[in-house]
A and B are shown apart, each in its own frame.
Chain A
């Protein structure tokens, strides 16, 4: 591929920016999810599906994926520009994130031709919603111990067990499923296998769980003698852990390959500062309060350091003292900063901080309160902050287990 010139980049940025301006949907008049983990109603789903389809049709999703499978085969820099513009214009999310961001890249990378032909395009169009069946009631952080069973029976695998916290489990057509094919394996990890499983076979029951916000978005997913075709197995039996770890690298943003689009409503510190411009504290603007200013600047620095860290991670000579440290800590830094920032945003609203979504006088409709509660989806989901810190301590600093 020829190097993309600055001129081409600029021209593309203008193109996508103009398209977004012209096509950004109007406020639908109902609460939209702040991330893909909060799609709780059919109404939200229909809206987001339509939007994703529109973005894909316009050519701004899966730009770096192969043309044969619904992508455009372009340099990833174009998708990066499109994503930046989507963020800048605060358009809705491309909700099919488990497909776009994790399952899709995985299939692109290690899937068979048949897998690619079968799955990739539906991920991009939003027609085929994907979910992830890793966590179980008794095995979350200790994912390697997952006990859901997959038993080969003729041309099928028979699945029994329970998955939980399955984002979009009730809407999904497919699941990336981690299940145990060999309970006798010496190492617990070696008994696991990875499946691209259909969700519409008999014996799979996804029951919605209510979230702390009172909204919905994930399920407890029961498998009772559910038969899935044997060719759903990805790789070989026993390779499940390795493949799941690869998936988690995508999920934690430590590896490239995602189709693009926004997974979250991006909330930056500028948004927080903007909403505080008319807030008063002790009879003066809150932004003039030295105590507040000190803490805000600290948060600005944290957020800026995250962005700079992402930049520096691409400069080998400046990031080889602790190889892969920035990539590995990306999720931890970002999600913890997000949680703190959102809580502080509530704190600074004065009495309005006590109002919630639905109150006509809540600031920005209770956006920050809901956002703070939702922020735990990212400090828990995809591996908790505590477990992330363990991984970094062990893999980057070489501290003992």
Chain B
């Protein structure tokens, strides 16, 4: 079999409709003034906009109809995240969608009440990272024999507004998930992170001492599989969002290159700027292809080898692309690029955040090398 593997790429009617609606929604609700208004706000997003997203059904778009979702699977979340990335729209959709998947995949129907709450728009998030190593296979946070959590989690995405936490822990060496309502996590156990990407919010949380009811603990072999899959889905959503951001970053640069003149000529006429812009375009295009390819391979079951390859390639491509697009956006805006007022900085900052999430490009390529070359 060729190392190229699957080249499936399908885009459903539903996805096309979602993409249309999401593009327009994000454009209307998140122009650059709206984005900037949130940079230094406590929540980082406009609750009114989130409510509208919920009303559009996006909180439950991937969840089964039995819990009030649209039953369209993760492939339907991808165009929404891409559109949000384009408009730099913040809010808890990514964290909530991933939390929903984790519950769905780790618990089956036992947790339908929680899934219904999520589908109805109660934001949820996964408390995942024990330390800075996204590639770590171990879990440090412990659920002890008395059902009490011991451990601290870093950069819990959208934690401040989350109504539900899924705490990744281990009990006697086996991965488990503790489901906590927000009220279980005291204010003094939370610390707001200061992130380089000012469109996002996260908290570092000390869960030590929190008792978890046994009915709120998800365990069993499917938990490890769900964690593995949701990590890949996380990589894919970040890739989709980064791809959108990279595309609008490129637009920002190209617009400037079409209006700024030096030496009596539009700077876009200089090949030193033109060619890197084409390199970015090519990379943005590759990103989009990988993202929708990976989305084509998803269903509610465990991720296939091809899907894993797709998600990893999408992530590796997308965040390198955004990094490059942002870096060049600053450079090609000259002195203007060095200001807070210029949007280039928003993309560069996002790129530094995004490259880390769910493993950076080197991590993904290393895993891909195993998958592709060690058969």
Binding site for B on A (CB under 8 A): 135, 138-142, 145, 164-165, 209-214, 279-283, 289, 291-292, 339, 343, 346-347, 349-362, 366, 369, 372-373, 376-377, 379-381, 384-386, 389-390
Contacts and interface: CB of A to CB of B under 8 A. Distances in A.
B262 A139 contact: yes
B363 to A, nearest CB: 6
B355 A347 contact: yes
23 contacts: A138-B261, A210-B339, A212-B338, A283-B135, A351-B131, A351-B134, A352-B132, A353-B196, A353-B352, A354-B155, A354-B193, A355-B155, A356-B194, A359-B193, A361-B193, A366-B196, A369-B196, A369-B352, A372-B352, A377-B338, A380-B334, A384-B334, A386-B273
B337 A282 contact: no
A353 B353 CA distance: 7
B132 A279 contact: yes
Interface stretch (B88-96, B304-312, B342-350): B342-350
Contacts, number: 144
Q: Binding site of A, secondary structure by majority: helix, strand, loop or mixed?
A: mixed
Interface in B320-375: 323, 327, 330-331, 334-335, 337-342, 344-345, 348, 352-353, 355-357, 360, 362-363, 365-366
A1 B302 CA distance: 80
B129 A351 contact: yes
Interface string B161-186: 00000000000000000000000000
What bracket does the count of chain B residues touching chain A fall in?
A: 35 or more
Nearest to A215: B340
B338 A355 contact: no
Contacts of A209: 339, 341
Given A373-B348, A376-B338, 14 more contacts: A142-B263, A164-B335, A210-B340, A211-B338, A280-B132, A291-B362, A291-B365, A346-B355, A350-B135, A351-B132, A355-B155, A360-B191, A376-B330, A377-B338
Contacts of B195: 354-356, 359
Contacts of A145: 263
Contact of B339 (A211, A283, A292): A211
Given A139-B262, A210-B340, A283-B135, A373 B345 contact: yes
B356 A353 contact: yes
A350 B134 contact: yes
B132 A214 contact: no
B204 interface: yes
A249 to B, nearest CB: 21
B136 A282 contact: yes
B3 interface: no
B43 interface: no
A209 B362 CA distance: 37
Contacts of B338: 165, 211-212, 376-377, 380-381
Contacts of A139: 262
Contacts of B263: 141-142, 145
B133 A351 contact: yes
A212 B352 CA distance: 14
B355 A353 contact: yes
Given A282-B135, A385-B331, A354 B352 contact: yes
Nearest to B352: A346
User: 9 tightest CB-CB pairs across the interface, nearest first?
Assistant: A282-B135, A350-B132, A359-B194, A212-B345, A210-B340, A356-B196, A165-B335, A358-B194, A142-B262
Contact of A384 (B133, B264, B331): B331
B16 to A, nearest CB: 33
B327 A212 contact: no
